[in-house]
Structure formats: structure tokens, C-alpha cells
Structure 1
Amino acid sequence: MATGTAALRAALPPALAESLDGWQEHLSLQRDLSEHTVRGYVGDVVSLLDHLVRRGGGTVADLDLAALRSWLALGRTRGDSRSTTARRAASARSFTAHLRRSGQTAEDVGLRLSSPKAHRTLPGVLAADQARAVLEEAARPPAEDEDAADTALRLRNVLVVELLYASGIRVGELVGLDIDDVDRGRRLLRVLGKGRKERSVPFGVPAAEALETWLTRGRPALATAASGPALLLGVRGGRLDPREARRLVHAAIAATPGTPDVGPHGLRHSAATHVLEGGADLRSVQELLGHASLATTQVYTHVTVERLRAVHARAHPRA
């Protein structure tokens, strides 16, 4: 949590702080949300409660629709985008719903809180040849003076990029994989996604080859007693940190000339788009990505339509 948010939280009256603590525990233990998601939700509601205190409120009973609306309006005057406002409203509604369910308030005041719908932007994706170039860059030949540790890290980096593009899984899902989560014979990953939902995700031959090389030549050079069953390891032998995984993907993409820096999530978007362009149905892509709603997956149809329009404009004689 940012220092500013921590300071605001520490200054809350005890009654509000207690309600916030209970809601945070609900998000973590009962809804089983990720640490990142919980941090974002709590940061929004700390801001809301600070606003409530400034309006003279001291308990959640003082939280009414006027306070919610003025809080969102204040954010808009400070430059909050539509998507930020929509997210903050969703955080507030989650909080007020918990207050009502737990008996802390007589009604759920957030039910009447409306907010602008976030603009749905098309995800950044790589063209198929750009994705191929990134993978080739990641697998470039080693330097002549490369030592065993450098070799291990290079082989790991190759596997990270290959698996992200081959499977379309999230970075958090990737670094959470254990060795036993990989069915090497059938080329399947057992992935634990959002909400602790498990799914099986296939991967192709190049990723399988990178996996075998990592397990035989790379991982043993980094493994320590603290490695446990983690598939991917950091330089000190512990489980690979998501931030390091993101950094190395950005580095591989940045090292590829003419390729937009879409990052790890861009590889996920690219995988989904290329699978759809190859003829897969939307339901299959939904299962591949682990989306709870088909509506989330449908954004990729807009991506492929935009590409089709661009190709048509370039190639059709009467475009």
C-alpha cells in the first residue's frame, strides 16, 4: 500500500478502521482475492473513508449516498479517468454490501450509486511475425563468456516468454506453477487462476522443448534447499518473482526492433488473438484464458475485426 494511503488509514477513527479491517479480511479469506486486487480495493475505500471523515463522519452509519457521490465527483475534478471512477465505485459498492451483510448498516447505500462505464480499449497485441521475432530474440545464442548461472537464467527467460505466449496464462499463474503442475507427456499446464479456479491449458512443441532444456540444464544450476517444487526460480533459487518475470519479458520485447512494448499481458492478448484468427471458437478461448464471463473474452473479436479491416484497406482494390 502506498505511503500516502497508509498514512490516511492510520489516521482513521477506530470505528472506521475496524470496519475497514473486517472488510479486508473478508476480501482475502472469504472471497480469496489476490493480494494485488485487495490492495487496490482497500486503497480506494481508505480514500472514501478519509473523505467521509472530512465531511464530519465518524462511523459507517454516517456513510450515505451523498458522501459516495461527492467522493467520486471529487476524484473526477482531480482528473480521475472514466475507468478509474468506475473502479472506485465498484470498490465502494463492495464495501457497502459487506457492511449490510455483516449487520453494520441497516441498508446498502451503494446499491443506488451509479458510475460511468469504463471505456473498453482494445488490448495491445503483436502480429504473428512480431511474436515470432520476440521468441527468437529470447532464444538468441549465448555469449562466449557465459557462465553456468548466466546460462540457467537465459534458459529460464526463454521458457517464461515461450510459455506466456504458448499458453496465454497470466504472469501470476505462470510463477505460481510447480513442477508437478506440468504434464510433460500431454503438454498441459494445471493452472490456478483467479478465485482459485483450476483449469488445464495446453502448450506447443517449442515451449515443451524450452521446458525440457530448463529442467535438465537450467533449473538444477539455480535450485537450492529453499526452491521447493517451484517450476521457475529466481537468481537466489527461490520462486521467480512476478516483477522479475515482467521485467525480463519487457527486456525481450524491447530488444526486438520494430515491436511495440506490450509487456507480458500483451503476450496473453496476442496468444488469444492469434488462436481466434486461426479458427478457434470464442468458448474455447474463454476456457484457455480462464475468463469467468464470455463478455470478457469477446473483446478479442474486436481486435481481429480491426485487423481484418486493416488488411482489407491495404489489399482490396476498391477499399
Structure 2
Amino acid sequence: MNIHQILERQNRYIDSWAKTAAVTEHQEILNTLSGMHYDPTYDDFVKEYLPFYTAESWAELTDEQHKQLLSFGWFMYNLKTIIIEQSALTEYCKTVLSGCSSFAFTRYFIHRLSQVQVDETYHTLMSYKGIDLCERLRTHGLSIFPDTDLANYINSCQLLTAADRELAWLALTTVCEATISKYLSVLPGVSNVQPAFRFIADMHRQDEASHSSLFMDLIAVAYTELDEYTREKFTTFLKKSITVLTSVDRKTWSHLYSLVGIPLPKRENPSFLELYNFRMLKKYTGVTNV
């Protein structure tokens, strides 16, 4: 695909944003959520999405322990969303929108990133609402964990030079936006999960297809401006981003399991990495999985 086709595609997204973005349905979304009530008979998450789920370890737990771990799964899903949107993606948008990018992005990309920043702030609001709706979480008073593997990596990026930091932000935001659609496409269709939570995930999903397209186009354009050495560096940042995005966060989950009164399983969920789609990045990373 040439640059003209890329810009035409992004221009179509610019024009359709007012009709398709979740934030433009704000009143309808809030009205829908206000009519939904937390029902403890539903699960809060999908067990197959838990990083330490295995059929064997799950069978040893009580129903109440199942419910609590699924609530923590919903919390961690939203925690990761908030960290990505506010600590990574918004930082990258600010770099470009403040005129500090080293790449010659056209006005089409500037407009789209402005729209995306609005989208992601709205997704953050919905994630906080999703956490607040989960009654099982209230007794624990959980807050945003500052030391997840993803958060630690983002903090380490702040120490890079301005040029490397921009590459790292672009790599991380692209990995997050381009691979999460598979993850989001499953959760809304699981009938035994809280209807409000499925609704929030689906609201998030409806924006991600256009975001994925944008960031894949951004790196396609940026890649043409990089020399061979910097391309190799960018590929390294992409691979690091994949690693931290798919981290099982053993330290954080060990704490959450302790709140349930059980030890963290030693074995990780063998299907956890299958929740993400890395095929789109193969051109730049050379791999389709981690």
C-alpha cells in the first residue's frame, strides 16, 4: 500500500469518527450503564483470560474463590487498559500533537491522533466505571498498582533520549492497539459474564479497529524515514513491547491470590498468549508469537 492510499484511508476515518467513535454515544452509553445492576450470579471475567488458569488448579478451588479471582481478572484487565491509555498512548499522542515528533506526519495523522486521544480518555473513564461497578472488589480497596511489568517498562522509557523515547512510545502503542482486537472480540460474547462488563468491553472494541489501522499506518510511514540502524532499534522496542504487554505479572498476581488466601500456581495459563494477535507485526518483528 502506497502513502496516498494510506492517507486516503485515514481521511475516511477522520470523516467517520463523529458517527462511529464510542465517545460520540456518551449519553446513550451512560444511560445504558445506569440501567444495569451488578448481579453476583454472573462471573466478572473469563477464566481462560486469567494468566495462571489451568483446568487442574481451577478444579481445586471453591466457587467463591473462582468468583473472587475472576473479579481480580476484571480489575487487571481495566488496570492494563488505564496504564496503556494514560501512561503510554496519551504520552505518544502528546509528543506528536505538541510538535515534538521527529517524523514528518501529515495533517491526516495529526487529526486522527487528536481523535484517538479523546477515544482513549473515554476508555479510561469506562475502565474506572467498570472497576467501580464490581461489588466484589470494593472490600479490597484496590488502587492502580504502580509496579506491574508494563508500568515498570513505561517508567524505564522515560529515561531514554528523546529520539529513543519516541521510538519506544510508538512501538508500545502500536503493539497495544494492533494486537488487542482479538482479546476484545471474545469477552463481549461470553454470556455468563456480567452484562455491564461485556457492554464496556464491546464499547472499547468498537474503536480499536480504526486505532489498529492508524498505528499500523503510522509505523509504515515512520519506517520509511528510518535508517537501517534505527530500524533495528525500533524492532527491538516492538519485541520488548510484546513481552511486557503479554507479561503474566507474577508479582502482582501473587498479591491478588494472597487476598483470596491461596498460593499462586506455579504453572502459567498455556493459552494466555493466544489472546493477542501478533501476525500484523510480523513484517517488523519477524515473528507471529512471543
Do the structures match in fold with TM over 0.5? no
* Larger radius of gyration between Structure 1 and Structure 2: 1
Larger relative contact order (CA 8 Å, sep ≥ 6): 2
Decide which structure has greater helix share: 2
What TM-score results when the alignment is normalised by the length of structure 2?
A: 0.25
